[in-house]
Amino acid sequence: MRYRPVISLAVVFIMAAITAVPLDAAPTFAAPGFGQQWKVGEAFAPNFWGPLATARDGQPEEYKEGASGKRLVQYFDKARMELTDPTTGAVTNGLLARELITGRMQTGNTTFEARTPAAIPVAGDLDNIGPTYATINGSSLMAETASTETMQASQSLNATGTVGLYTGPYLNDPYAVISHPEAATHHNVPKAFCDFRARVGLASIGYAISEPFWTTGASSPTRRRTPTLTRSSSATSASTTTPGATQQARDLWAT
């Protein structure tokens, strides 16, 4: 697989998480509600959740409020779908980004299991040189921040977790202008991500849980995860992607 060096603007959203190729493809949706939600997402944007061919089979996971202390989940290329109460059929999506950053794995509505923050790249493949979820943990990017609406996103984050000031060639990119201060989480969201979330819906993306930051790394032409605005010598148009989560990634962190 070929990679290219890129500069990306990223924001961590509640439902953003990691992508990896699953070990076994799922033959079918594990619950009717999963299939229905998948079709709605695909209607918004092709490959929104990822194809069924790259999903894992449904499986039970520990969850206090679930039937017998478990709930049915299914990992897709770009999301985890959950069915906690089969009697209602209500489908939720995993808040893996917060779990991976903080190391607090949710095992119930109000119960958590302490883990180590995940040393897994926020974007790109698992061998990407960019920042990981662990490097974001405890950084100033996670702190609640006053509105900077109409200003440019200007913070940067390197692979070691150092937050700095971005002064590169894309600083004045119109898609990097803060166009929406997040009232629910007190973070700022650039135009590129606001536009994409307006298209696919809040329920699919969630709220921002970090400040936007510029970073450098390697971009695969087929694998991306957290929403990014990617700039490079060979790709200079706006590019936003859906969040991702798969079983392999969670296994790497949760074992």
Q: What is the pLDDT of residue 216?
A: 81
Q: What are 106-134's pLDDT values in tens digits? A: 999 999 999 999 998 887 667 778 889 99
Asked if residue 189 has pLDDT above 50, the reply is yes
Location of structure tokens 């209500």: 90
247 vs 208: which has the higher pLDDT: 208
Q: Which residues contact 247 (CB under 8 A, 6 or more apart)?
A: 22, 23, 56, 59, 75
Stretch among 58-62, 74-78, 207-211 having the lowest mean pLDDT: 74-78
pLDDT band at 255, cuts 50/70/90? Answer: very low
Q: What are the sequence ranges of the domains in the chain?
A: 4-16+120-231, 32-116+247-254
Segment (H or E) for 222 = none
Q: What is the pLDDT of residue 242?
A: 34
Evaluate whether 57 touches 211 at the Cβ level (below 8 Å). Answer: no
Asked if residue 209 has pLDDT above 50, the reply is yes
pLDDT band at 103, cuts 50/70/90? Answer: very high
Q: What is the pLDDT of residue 239?
A: 33
Asked if residue 206 has pLDDT above 90, the reply is no
Q: What are 127-185's pLDDT values in tens digits? A: 778 889 999 998 999 999 999 999 999 999 998 899 999 998 888 999 999 998 999 99
Beta-bridged to residue 93, according to DSSP, are: 81
14 vs 75: which has the higher pLDDT: 75
Segment (H or E) for 34 = helix 32-44
Evaluate whether 134 touches 12 at the Cβ level (below 8 Å). Answer: no
Decide: residue 146, CB within 10 A, 0-12 exposed, 13-18 middle, 19+ buried: exposed
What is the strand order of the sheet 70-76 is part of? 59-62, 70-76, 79-83, 92-93
219 vs 1: which has the higher pLDDT: 219
Q: What are 9-59's pLDDT values in tens digits? A: 777 776 543 334 344 557 899 999 999 999 988 888 888 888 898 899 999
- Residue 161, sorted as left (phi over 0), alpha (psi -120 to 50) or beta, turns out to be left
Stretch among 69-78, 81-90, 178-187, 240-249 having the lowest mean pLDDT: 240-249
